[in-house]
């Protein structure tokens, strides 16, 4: 495999467990090369609470078969 497209196609065929191992492998290599990883995202308590409320409402609808 010599192109990113070929690698992406091969990665798509992997199991979830293999994809996770590949992801960890890539992150380890990036860290070893000194690559900067994205900063953690920060969310307000209000945003998180809104997401939880939306999720709970969606679960109610799901349980009702809607």
The model's pLDDT over 8-61, given as tens digits with 9 standing for 90+, comes to 999 999 999 999 999 999 999 999 999 987 888 999 999 999 999 999 999 999
Alpha-carbon span 38 to 17, nearest angstrom: 24
Domain ranges of the chain: 4-63
Q: Is pLDDT above 80 for 66?
A: no
pLDDT value of position 36 = 85
CB neighbour list of residue 14: distance below 8 Å, 6 or more residues apart? 22
Band (pLDDT 50/70/90 cuts) for residue 1 is low
DSSP 2: -
* CB-based contact 41:35 (threshold 8 Å): no
Alpha-carbon span 47 to 41, nearest angstrom: 12
Q: Do you know the residue count of the chain?
A: 66
């Amino acid at each position: 495999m010599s192109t990113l497209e070929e690698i992406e196609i091969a990665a798509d065929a992997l199991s979830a467990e293999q994809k996770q191992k590949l992801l960890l492998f890539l992150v380890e290599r990036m860290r070893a090369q000194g690559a900067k990883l994205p900063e953690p995202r920060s969310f307000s308590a209000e945003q998180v609470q809104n997401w939880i409320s939306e999720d709970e409402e969606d679960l109610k609808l799901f349980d009702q078969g809607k």
